[in-house]
């Protein structure tokens, strides 16, 4: 599984507050979005989100991971823009 894309899925899930909305925005299935989050959780050996059928929210580890992932993804986007420009 593409970990970089998993990070993008994680950020989108948090920003949208929903697996379904995130999946729609990324043009993937809700099940695939869930698999990407599970992939990250398995990779780092930490639970990132508390989720049930009604809501989701970040765990303490998820909050820090979200901040660091967002920073890293923003940095990569900036680098790509500079390289292209």
pLDDT tens digits, one per residue of 9-60: 999 999 999 999 999 999 999 999 999 999 999 999 999 999 887 889 999 9
What confidence score (pLDDT) does residue 9 get?
A: 98
What confidence score (pLDDT) does residue 43 get?
A: 96
Q: Mind listing the domains of the chain with CATH numbers? A: 3-84 (1.10.10.10)
Res. 85: pLDDT tops 90: no
- What is the phi-psi region of residue 17: left when phi exceeds 0, alpha when psi lies from -120 to 50, beta otherwise? left
Res. 69: pLDDT tops 90: yes
What confidence score (pLDDT) does residue 42 get?
A: 97
Mention every residue, 6+ apart, whose C-beta is less than 8 A from residue 31: none
What confidence score (pLDDT) does residue 68 get?
A: 97
């Amino acid at each position: 599984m593409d970990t970089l894309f998993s990070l993008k899925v994680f950020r989108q899930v948090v920003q949208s507050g929903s697996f379904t909305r995130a999946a729609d925005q990324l043009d993937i299935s809700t099940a695939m979005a869930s698999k990407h989050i599970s992939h990250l959780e398995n990779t780092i050996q930490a639970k990132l989100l508390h989720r049930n059928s009604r809501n989701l929210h970040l765990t303490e580890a998820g909050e820090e991971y979200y901040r660091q992932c967002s920073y890293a993804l923003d940095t990569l986007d900036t680098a790509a823009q500079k390289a292209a420009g």
